[in-house]
Amino acid sequence: MYYYLLIPAIIFALYAQLKVKLTFSKYSDINNQHGYTAKEVARRILDDNGLYNVSIEYIAGELTDHYDPTTNVIRLSESVYNSTSVAAIGVAAHEVGHAIQHAQGYTPIKIRQAIIPVTQIGSRLAVPLVLLGIVISAFDWLIPVGILLYTGVVLFQAVTLPVEFNASGRALRTLDDNLILYKDEVKQARKVLSAAAMTYVAAMFSALMSLLRLIAIANGGRRRR
């Protein structure tokens, strides 16, 4: 009966995923007027910020782009790497934004990295711990432990929002200030990154609804004892 709490989150997540795919597809058909590839733009921004040690690699898939701080590598997907589209340029610049965040010690990204272990544990063990605490009265102390662990998942998603928004903001300012894209192209890139940002908002909302569901399950289990 508590699954109804997840319905709005599921709908929102599906909408966000569809939105980003349609927006990226739309602006993938519009090439930047300078003819730069996404890889070239990423390399230029990295070098302008003195990040010569950050490499750029190709990765299979669509919208699998990411920055890996453990290896100092930006990986651009096949739909971005050699593309000259406005959408690809925006995505590549966004990933460079993450590399710059790490290099400058951006506080939210440091917090996010620090709570990753708690998030991994919480996502796996929170529900089993709560259910075990409900079923076995002697272990009811596991209920608040499970809820606390899942709160770490919500915190991770919350901290992810400023990290992603900041990376997009850095990307768009750089593309505009350095004249990498023309004004109308920057607006188009902004639409792509805004659509992508919605997926992180959806993830945050989903995590919050899952936490509320877990609390509702715990309260319901206690009342039935």
Separation of CA 123 from chain center = 16
- Over the stretch 81-90, which tens digit does the pLDDT of each residue have? 999 999 999 9
- Residues, the chain, total? 225
Contact 109, 98 (CB under 8 A): yes
Coil, strand or helix: which one is 85?
strand
C-alpha–C-alpha distance, residues 150 and 214, integer Å: 9
C-alpha–C-alpha distance, residues 159 and 119, integer Å: 12
95 part of the active site: yes
Q: Choose among 91, 84, 95: nearest CA to 55.
A: 95
The segments of the chain whose pLDDT lies below 70 read 1-2, 221-225
Contact 149, 210 (CB under 8 A): no
Residues 6+ apart with CB under 8 A from 138: none
| Angle at the Cα of 86 from the Cα atoms of 80 and 89, rounded to 5 degrees | 50
C-alpha–C-alpha distance, residues 144 and 146, integer Å: 5
- Over the stretch 204-222, which tens digit does the pLDDT of each residue have? 999 999 999 899 888 876 5
Residues 6+ apart with CB under 8 A from 80: 38, 63, 65, 87, 88, 91, 92
Choice among 57, 95, 164, 185 that is catalytic: 95
Mean pLDDT of the chain: 93
Give the start-end residues of each E strand in 61-197: 66-68, 73-77
Which alpha helices (H) appear in 136-181, and where do they start and end? Answer: 142-177
pLDDT given for residue 139 in this prediction: 82
C-alpha–C-alpha distance, residues 202 and 205, integer Å: 5
